[in-house]
Homo-oligomer: A and B are copies of this chain.
């Protein structure tokens, strides 16, 4: 079971745009560099996101892309569904257009896939891009703290070596 790179890369890109929200439009080139993705492939993905109304573009020099709305109003689920289509771990529990199988009502295993689909949706739809940005900030802070201690120990070791 796997998502394609579309959802994976696309979410990375959207997170990148979210971190620059409010500023000047971000050129794809820099997104691609930071997230280490190919510009040309990213162009395809962002085109889909634009058509889905999740990002806005500014053409020409000094142009680029920006989120179409607030990061806290864009759910991970919006991004992933735009790029990968509706959730459908198996055809008969497709979010939009479930394929009715011949066994229809007495297909018990169906409830398993339904639960899986719902639990994925629950995760994707309860996390916004803003949440990810917050997480990134927190993690940055932690890192600084941890590094302070590391540096202390490093200094200590050094002084001990000196003895």
Interface residues of A (CB under 8 A from B): 1-3, 5, 7-8, 11-12, 15, 35-36, 76, 80, 84, 87-90, 102-103, 105-109, 111-113, 115-116, 119-120, 122-124, 127, 132, 135-136, 139, 143
- Asked if A108 and B135 make an inter-chain contact with CB atoms under 8 angstroms apart, the answer reads yes
- Asked if A109 and B1 make an inter-chain contact with CB atoms under 8 angstroms apart, the answer reads no
| CB contact between A120 and one of B8, B15, B88, B116 (< 8 Å): that residue | B116
Q: CB-CB < 8 A to A108: which residues of B? A: 15, 132, 135-136, 139
Closest to A92 in B: B8
Q: Main SS of chain A's interface residues?
A: helix
- Asked if B103 and A132 make an inter-chain contact with CB atoms under 8 angstroms apart, the answer reads no
